[in-house]
Structure 1
Amino acid sequence: MGQRAVREALSSGLLAQPWRGVVVPAADSLKLPTRAEAALLLAGQPAALSGATSLVLHGVSVAECADIHLTVPYERRVRSKPGLVVHQADYQPHDVLELDGLPVFSLDLALADFLCRGDKRTAFAAAEEAMRGLPPDHLQRLRDNVRDRIVDRASRKGIHRALSMLALADGRAESPPESMLKLVVVEAGLPLPDVQYPIYDIDGRLLYVLDMAWPARRVALEYDGFAAHEDRQAADAERDRRMLGRGWITVRAAAADLRDPGRVLRELRDAFRVRSV
């Protein structure tokens, strides 16, 4: 284009400059693949997209963040910039695969890194999202591969928590908030719940599927996502009444309870005390 044409396109808004020395079409400047490719151009090779960026490119949406994460070998000197987080690590060619023309860490390596270093709740939800819908043999293979990656890490930081979360993840939660709520409950010292627990009528017909349940005590925990439960308070209250008639105590949680789970944990403990008498 030439320098003058580039300057005019930047001035008019046709081009955007995420980092000095790299320009992209402004219409695509918020798209993850475009920003990722711009980061790779800036860093030069060898480099691979890693961390949260690689997980999102693998389809794990809960890991989405504004920054682009990439990893370069130790001998390379590439600095982080606003919106670009550069990690240094030794990795092998087989650790990287190509997704839509971009070099990306493999899913098992990206999950292992994120479980060790990412935000705890988001990392656990990412592991569950990656497992969701997998056939049992594929799920076990992914779990085994991630475990091997974790124990083989040169840095021992975060390994214990990563292995604990990996053991807890099973991919059965229907949404990331439900995964996070499950982690909150278990970390509070409550028993591991059954996830997506079915309730049948006397004729064997499916009535409800509970987000989380402790069948032996007939205690249920339901997460009310905004989209799924807006304007459904009356229906939810009627369902809880019907479940109470079947001997179940239902505790309900919402997005605010993930930020401050005190009320939910108190109600669950109260329900457990009632059922332990």
Structure 2
Amino acid sequence: MEPRIWSTSELAALKGWGPAQVRSAVREGRITRVRRGSFIEAPAPRPGAAHIARVRAAAHALGEGTVVSHISAAVLLGLPVPQSLLSSVWVTRPHSNGERTPTLRAFRAPVPDDERTVVQGVPVTSLARTVVDLARTVPFEWGVAAADATLRQGVQRVALEQALDRARRRPGMRRARRVVAFADGRAGSPGESLSRAHFLLQGVPAPVLQRVVRTASGIVVGLGDFGWEDERVIGEFDGALKYDGGLGRPEDVIMAEKRREQAFRDEGWWLVRWGWSELLRPAELAERVRRALDHGRRQTS
């Protein structure tokens, strides 16, 4: 259940709080300010949840014909986005002068009925339209992450191509077409999507996605996120969530990972692993993978 959003006037009328009481409640963590004059009665949420609360708080004041779009639509639709862009609510309006404030980014474009949906009572752009809008406006790798996630959810590529066609006269379409052409629903997570986009941008040879490793007798040893066939290298993005206790005791998970890695090595595969911190330094990640590929070539020559 989504937390209730309180306005300053509601806090005054229903709780009897004046400005001093509101400031005190914010300091003590009893309520959290999500935008000017709007609060939720809960401790500070994670960035995505805070952004959803901000969108819900702003929805009533967005104006007729306004649709939540781009980053904000992506968050409501469950698509990955960069946290650095969550401070503003992103919307599309039929009439806009491109407003951009610390809390609002508005775009001018039509949004037909078949490119709209409703999430948590908020009108938002459809999944395919949102992907194309993102691909036009955010860095290439984040457009890929959103497009991959959409294909992974079962949306057909033709839907993205149709959305591209309908947006063909808008800015950023060359990048959007490149994103959709590169999108692949086999990428298993946002981290994997960002990784393969960085490989492309950094000139790293394209890997096979979800490479199954088998013994000579055909027994499956494991599944690697990325596989470079000629070099016999498996690449693994490690998002660290597997160690948070959700998959069992962290020490058991770590031991299982070590056994799996040894099984790969026993079949002649070299492993290279990275996490979120490496994704922040794409050139260093690319160099690390190249070194692993060089090692693999030497081992197979």
Q: Normalised by the shorter chain, which TM-score bucket?
A: 0.7 to 0.9
**Aligned match of 2:289:** 265
Hey, what does 1:68 align to over in structure 2?
Answer: 89
User: How big is the shift at 1:208?
Assistant: 0.8
- Say which SS state the counterpart of residue 42 (structure 1) adopts: coil
CA-to-partner distance for each residue in 1:126-176, whole Å, 9 max, x for gaps?
111222242xxxx4x3x2122222233254543222222212222222221
Match of 2:275 among 248, 254, 257: 254
**Is 1:84 the equivalent of 2:98?**
no
Which deviates more from structure 2 when the two are superposed, residues 197-206 or residues 40-49? 197-206
- Quick one: structure 1 residues 9 and 49, their matched pair in 2 at CA, closer, same or farther if it must change by over 3 Å? farther
Identity across the alignment (%): 24
Instruction: Give the one of 166, 179, 183 matched to 2:180.
Output: 166
**Residues 85, 11 of structure 1: CA spacing in aligned structure 2 closer, same or farther, 3 A cutoff?**
farther
The number of aligned residues is 269
Per-residue Cα deviation, 1:39-71 (whole angstroms, up to 9, x for no partner): 222222121100111112112244663322111
| Structure 2, unaligned runs of 5 or more | 1-8, 26-30, 244-249
Relative distance call for 1:156 and 1:102 in structure 2 (3 A) is closer
- 1:245 maps to a residue whose letter is D
Aligned residue type for 2:58: A
CA RMSD of aligned residues (A): 3.2
State the match for 2:65 in structure 1: 46
Contact kept, 8 Å, 1:212 with 1:221, in 2: the verdict is: yes
Which residue number corresponds to residue 189 of structure 1? 203
Does the C-alpha gap of structure 1 residues 154 and 235 become closer, same or farther in structure 2, counting only changes over 3 Å? closer
Map 1:215-230 → 2, pairs under 5 A? 215-228=229-242
- What is the CA distance between 1:212 and its match in structure 2? 0.4
Q: Secondary structure at the match of 1:128?
A: helix
Matched with 1:114 is 134
User: Partner amino acid for 2:181?
Assistant: A
**8 Å Cα contact 1:63/1:123 also seen in 2:** no
Amino acid at match of 1:266: R
Distance 1:8 1:267, change over 3 A: same
Which residue identity does 1:12 align to in structure 2?
Answer: Q
For the residues of structure 1 that align with 2:119 and 2:222, how far apart are their CA atoms? 39
- Deviations 1:168-208 (Å, cap 9, x if unpaired)? 22222222111111111223333322211112234433211
Alignment match, 1:206:
220
Distance of 1:133 and 1:239 partners within structure 2: 28
The answer (yes or no) to whether the contact 1:124–1:166 under 8 Å persists in 2 is: yes
Q: Is residue 2:8 matched to residue 1:8?
A: no
Checking the alignment, whether the CA contact within 8 Å between 1:54 and 1:110 is kept in structure 2 is: yes
**In 1, distance between residues paired with 2:256 and 2:35?**
51
Shift in Å, 1:117: 0.8
CA distance in 2, matches of 1:268, 1:155: 43
Distance 2:188 2:136 in 1: 23
